[in-house]
Structure 1
Amino acid sequence: MDIKIIKEKNNAPLNRRELDLNIGFDGATPSRDQVKGKVAAMLNVPLELVIVQRMKNEFGRQAVSAYVKIYENAERMKQVEAKYVLKRNALPEAEEEAAEAPAE
């Protein structure tokens, strides 16, 4: 997976950085978790502060356009982001723990 940053914006009022990415890949389209992990490693930020807002596959190409937000802290992220976006970007371990808790 090859990630290129097309545009980077610092959004100070919301305590986040906003990135427009172009992602080239071979084989299957990468998942949100794979993109989050690669972006977090590339920019040296905590994985739980990365939100993949949108991924759009380009027809006929092995490429995806993505819009990613990187927050400075988790509290601000929970205040700003919609619940469905947070749920969509939840870490897999957190989802498993949440599913097990009500069953007990």
Structure 2
Amino acid sequence: MDFEITRDVRNEVLSRREVSFTLTFDGPTPSRKSIQEKLAALQNKDVNLVVLDLERTRFGKMELLGRARIYDDEETKKSTEREYLLKRGEPKAESEA
């Protein structure tokens, strides 16, 4: 997986960085969790502070275009982000039979 950050803007009002990136990969499309972990490692931030907003693969190419927001703290993230995006980044609970 090779990351190329195409846009990196600091939003002081919302205490976050807004990042657009291009991800080149081999094989199947990487999971949201693996993209989130790789982006957090590249930016030296905690995985829980990264929210993936948009992912689009390009037909016929091993390339993914995406946007993410990297928050300064957990409290700001919870007060700003939409609920469904926060749930999307969490691991699924195991259902009991």
What is the TM-score of this pair, normalised by structure 1?
Answer: 0.87
In structure 2, distance between residues paired with 1:73 and 1:2: 27
In structure 2, distance between residues paired with 1:12 and 1:72: 10
2:63 counterpart residue number? 63
Q: In proportion to residue count, which structure has more helix?
A: 1
CA deviation after TM superposition for structure 1 residue 58, in Å:
0.6
Is structure 2 residue 43 aligned with structure 1 residue 43?
A: yes
Q: How does 1:1-104 map to 2 (within 5 A)?
A: 1-90=1-90, 92=91, 95-96=92-93
SS of residue paired to 2:76: helix
In structure 1, distance between residues paired with 2:17 and 2:70: 5
- Equivalent AA in structure 2 for residue 32 of structure 1: R
- Equivalent AA in structure 1 for residue 58 of structure 2: E
Cα offsets for 1:40-96 (capped at 9, x unmatched): 111110010000111000111000000010000011101111100000012x2xx44
What is the TM-score of this pair, normalised by structure 2?
Answer: 0.93
Tell me the C-alpha RMSD between the 2 structures: 1.4
Gap regions ≥5 residues in structure 1: none
- Equivalent AA in structure 1 for residue 17 of structure 2: R
In structure 2, distance between residues paired with 1:23 and 1:82: 24
Percent of residue pairs bearing the same amino acid type:
34
Pairs aligned (count): 96
Gap regions ≥5 residues in structure 2: none
CA deviation after TM superposition for structure 1 residue 3, in Å:
0.4
